[in-house]
Structure 1
Amino acid sequence: MIRHMVFFTVKDPADLTAAESGLKRLEEVPETELLHVRRNLRRDQLGNEVDLVVYGEFTDEDKLAAFKAHPLYEEAIALVRPLRDLRIAADVEV
């Protein structure tokens, strides 16, 4: 199983809802076992500036690749890239 995590900040706080809506399109891609797009609760006592988190689970690398090749993935990128400031991604095998 691969866990895919992506952390985003937006350039302008006024664009947070639009960025979240764009990323939520990813939840419609069928190649995921589980995929959530959520706002960061910012409850960590050390703080952080992350606005949005994408968390997904994929059975294997082929499913992750299929997810990234899906048209909705490209659509989400096109919507969110102009709004985002920072994007950090990590994939871990469990």
Structure 2
Amino acid sequence: MIRHFVFFTAQHDGNIEPIRKGLQILKRIPHAQRLEIALNRKSEPTSREVDVVVYGEFADDDALTAYKAHEFYAESVRRVKPLREMRWAADYDMAQAVNTPDDDA
């Protein structure tokens, strides 16, 4: 299982809701097992710059690749890219994640 995170900052506060709406199109893509689009609560004092978060879970790399190749993904990019300042993305394979404390720590 691949976990997919994307963080967006808006160029202006007025762009936050249009970014969220533009990302909501991604929910129409069938390849994700789970996909959430949410506004950042900005409760972390040192990381208030992120405005919108996308979180997805995909069965494997092929599902994530198919998701990114979908026409609705391209439409979302077309709508959101002009409104955003920054975009950060991270993916990881859950099978490679550390799930237990290290005894040597």
TM-score, with length taken from structure 1: 0.96
Runs of 4+ in 1 over 2 A off after TM superposition: 45-48
Partner of 2:16: 16
Aligned amino acid, residue 64 of structure 1: L
- Counterparts of 2:11 and 2:2 in 1: how far apart (Å)? 29
Q: Per-residue deviation at 1:70?
A: 0.5
Please state whether the residue corresponding to 2:32 is helix, strand or coil: coil
Q: Which runs of no fewer than 5 residues in structure 1 stay unpaired?
A: none
* Matched residue, 1:50: 50
Aligned residues: 94
Q: Deviations along 1:30-88, whole A, 9 cap, x unmatched?
A: 00000000000011243321000000000000000000010000000000000000000
Aligned to 2:97: none
| Larger Rg over CA atoms | 2
Distance in 2 between residues matched to 1:55 and 1:30, nearest whole Å:
15
User: What does 1:14-93 correspond to in 2, within 5 Å?
Assistant: 14-93=14-93
- Of 42-51 and 66-75, the range deviating more from structure 2: 42-51
